[in-house]
Structure 1
Amino acid sequence: MRWDIDGRHVPHREWSRFVTAGGLKFHVQITGPDAAPVLLLIHGTGATTHSFADLAPLLAQHFRVVIPDLPGHGFTAKMNAPGPDPVAKALAALLGELGVQPAIVLGHSVGAAVAFVLAARGLVQPQAIVALGGALLPFDGVGKAYPGIAKALFVNPFMPAIFSFTTRLQSMPDLMARWTGSRSSREQIAHYERLFRSSAHTGGALALMAHWDLDIIERSIADIKCPVLLLHGERDKTVPPDTSRKVAQRLTGHGASAVHHAMPGLGHLAHEEAPERHAELITAFARELGVLPA
């Protein structure tokens, strides 16, 4: 195993392995009973598997949990033009290489968008999707404009290094709170700080943003047929909390089953702030669908 960033601090590194699929070398963590239903966890932009460090062990009591680093993030190799479709196809290739078919796909933020594309394109056939603070609709302000902004940064080869350097000059807890509305644990913040100091990681995050297309994600909503659980922190400063309400309405309008839960007092990293509450809602949802025994 080779760690391209400082791997000593990776939570649950005993779960880690490197797998080459679709021409891309992935870092992926796998845990939970071999015979349990497979739950795929997809992190958001700028994060890694560490984002699920507290939630995954709770879910692994019931599921076979698979958690990859997205392309260009953490310890997974970068890819050219990492837009929604290429990223979804890369993850589908990884699942094929691992020989698993997820019963549930869970995504946080941009990871929720990847989950929708995976299902809408028929690359996986999950029994359900769970979206945590899902970035699933275009929204006003920087959120709508960020692909263009990120592209301008991405084409300058020095920008990832400059961005990494500037994070060292600011208080990471304050920076994270302003960005996300969340107050994550000291351990989580320390890991984000290490990641943001890596120009390779920040470059991967900028590349993903630069090639993202929220219109593709929005159009995928009409092709989702499986039940969807949408959990969203009411203090989210990254993705407007109303996004999940609107997506739930659209899904039900297309005949799909959708349940929306607002998470009071939590921000964009709600699953990091309240992993127990999220695990309860996710396992209850799985039991209602028959994915887990009642």
Structure 2
Amino acid sequence: MNWGRDGRDWPNRAASRFVSAGGLRWHVQVLGQGPVVLLLHGTGASTHSFRALAPMLATDFTVVAPDLPGHGFTASPSRASGYTLVAVANGIDALLRELGLRPTLAVGHSAGAAIAVHMTLQGSIEPVAVVSLAGALLPFPGMANDFFGPAARFLASSSVTAKAFALFAGSRPSVERMMRSTGSSIDPEGMRLYSRLAGNSGHVHGALSLMANWDLRPLQRDMPGLRCRLVLVTGSRDGMVPPAEALRVRALVPTAELVSLHGSGHLAHEERPAEIAALLRRMVAHEAAG
């Protein structure tokens, strides 16, 4: 997206900066002072997803929140291989090194949770805990896993298909359907920003490319080796990552902690940011005391 046009009223704009690292020009927001909290959004979203949560945390922490490759205002990788889990994680590692920030806490929403877990497993970050917000940490079971990758690859195969899909996805009825499917009710500003993202062909191409090149099978294999604290936050109304998925994750990581938010959907951090902020503060305080 174009910062001069699309970023004029972007949430937390004063915290935005553009940083070259790992071969990409990243849009990243950094705000506050204190222990570093890394916030990673999910597929199809951007830093706007943390528009309320980030300022709340910034009273006690240094918050760093990047747009993923091809999302929002971060540049797109030149090759499809730049959208793999390993490549995205390596890129964020390069960004953090350029910024000179090492996270105390890694918080990922949906696909962002997979990135946080992978980075911890490979040792590029050493957080005291990883917090998965409606984390998409495992491959879709059965036929769903075999369908979504090829479908996304087709839609991301050219700028023409991406533009056509953006015209459809960016319409108000499509965005409203998408929001209903999450099980969440978000504020009008959130709806407006998701509409802007969904109607931008570059952002849509980035989201589709991420889905087309995402492979969680290695993460599923390696996850039992996770040694730091893992907290799995689920929403009882989540229509995109069913809460039962957290039980599948805990079968791999028996020490994982489950936190269920009754009445919340896939975007609980946008619906109830104060509750999520309080949870994260308690976690850091607990680790410091322990």
TM-score by length of 2: 0.93
Aligned pair partner of 2:233 in 228, 231, 234: 231
Equivalent residue for 2:99?
98
Residue 129 (structure 2) pairs with residue 128 (structure 1): yes
Structure 2 counterparts to residues 136-147 of structure 1, below 5 A:
136-140=137-141, 142=144, 145-147=147-149
Corresponding residue for 1:42?
40
The CA distance in 2 between the partners of 1:268 and 1:143, in whole Å, is 19
Alignment of 1:57-68 (within 5 A): 57-68=55-66
Look up the match of 1:7. 7
* Partner residue in 1 for 2:286: 288
Three-state SS of the structure 2 residue aligned to 1:135 is: coil
Pairwise CA distance, 1:5: 5.6
Q: More displaced, 169-178 or 273-282? A: 169-178
Matched, 1:260 2:253: no
Q: Corresponding residue for 1:164?
A: 166
Counterpart code for 2:235: G
Show the counterpart of 1:72. Answer: 70
Contact (CA 8 Å) 1:173, 1:183: kept in 2 or not?
no
Quote the sequence identity (%): 42
1:134-176 deviation line (CA, Å, top 9, x unaligned): 0001223546632221012111331211111013444256313
With normalisation by structure 1, the TM-score equals 0.92
Distance of 2:189 and 2:145 partners within structure 1: 27
SS at match of 1:28: strand
**SS where residue 246 of structure 2 aligns?**
helix
What is the CA–CA distance in structure 2 between the aligned matches of 1:225 and 1:145, rounded to whole Å? 33
Q: Once the 2 structures are TM-superposed, how far is the Cα of residue 198 of structure 1 from its aligned partner? A: 0.5
What are the within-5 Å matches in structure 2 for residues 141-156 of structure 1? 142=144, 145-156=147-158
SS in 2 for 1:171: helix
Q: Does structure 2 retain, via aligned residues, the 8 Å contact 1:127–1:226? A: yes
Question: Paired residue for 1:279?
Answer: 277
CA pair 263-144 structure 1, distance change in 2 beyond 3 A: farther
Q: Size of the alignment, in residue pairs?
A: 285
Corresponding letter in the other structure for 1:95: L
Work out whether residues 5 and 75 of structure 1, in 8 Å CA contact, stay in contact via their aligned partners in 2. Answer: no
Structure 1 position 131, deviation (Å): 0.5
Which moves more between the two structures, 121-130 or 12-21? 121-130
- Does residue 206 of structure 1 match 2:226? no
State the one-letter code of the partner of 1:181: G
